Chain A
Amino acid sequence: MLVLSRKVGETIYIGEDIEIVISEVKGEQVKIGIRAPRNIDIIRGELRQDVSASNTEAVIKSLDLFKKH
């Protein structure tokens, strides 16, 4: 993974049209601004992981529930 050190107000470009701005650093929290085209999904990592965990739980183990009806 590429790791860059940045100060508040400094930016990073990813490709031509995605700009990441470090907007505030307070204790353990970092506020990040993201400018990106509207066709790019921006999702918090833990939310995506939670959906991934939920999908894994949801894999069918048995269809017996439906056979009882």
Chain B
Amino acid sequence: MKIQTAYFDEVEIDQTDILKFHHGLPGFEDEREFILLPVQDNSVFQVLQSVQTAALAFIITNPYEITAEYSFVLEEATIHALQITNENEVAVFAILSLKETIAQSTVNLKAPIVLNTTNKKAKQVILNNEDYSIRHLISSESKEG
């Protein structure tokens, strides 16, 4: 099927690649279907594009690229909602808020997106964990590294 996107005009997508957010995302509860699109020449970041709303897209990244120490326990509610049977089928992403530069941009480590890669069910999980911030400055990591 073809969809309209915010930054790539019309894109041909495979129905089986659609990520299904049963309850949408906080703030976007009616947006149930998204697709991952590559950012040109950049494998660290991807675009999470709404299937239904062309103007709605996020930049996501692998949180382990931002902070190697990143870890959290998958709650029963998430395992149940996404029908996760095996940890190998789980993928985790974090949403970026882009600023002037990547270093000034923030990443939401408090509310990662958890994806069951087998059935494509996904959910933005809110961690009960004081260690992680909703607006984690990316440059705070690159200085250390």
Q: Of all chain A residues, which has the CB nearest B126?
A: A43
Contact B42 A60 (CB under 8 A): no
The answer to whether the Cβ of A6 comes within 8 Å of any Cβ in the partner chain is no
B15 to chain A, nearest CB (A): 24
Contacts of B42 in A (CB 8 A): 66, 69
Chain B interface bracket (under 10, 10 to 19, 20 to 34, 35 or more): 35 or more
Chain A: interface size category: 20 to 34
B47 at the A interface (CB under 8 A): yes
A69 to B40 CA separation, bound complex (whole angstroms): 10
Cβ–Cβ contact B97 & A58, under 8 A: yes
Contact A60 to B95, CB < 8 A, known contacts A39-B77, A54-B134: no
**Complexed CA–CA distance, A2 and B81 (Å):** 27
In the complex, identify which listed stretch (B24-32, B65-73, B84-92, B114-122) lies at the interface while the others stay far away.
B24-32
Smallest beta-carbon distance B83→chain A, Å: 11
Task: Tell me, rounded to whole Å, the shortest Cβ–Cβ distance linking B134 to chain A.
Answer: 5
Pick 16 A–B contacts, CB within 8 A, sort by A. A38-B76, A39-B77, A39-B80, A39-B81, A47-B126, A48-B126, A51-B110, A54-B108, A58-B95, A58-B97, A60-B98, A65-B98, A65-B100, A65-B101, A66-B41, A69-B42
Residues of B with Cβ closer than 8 Å to A? 6-7, 25-28, 39-42, 45, 47, 55-59, 75-77, 80-81, 95-98, 100-102, 108, 110-111, 124, 126, 134-135
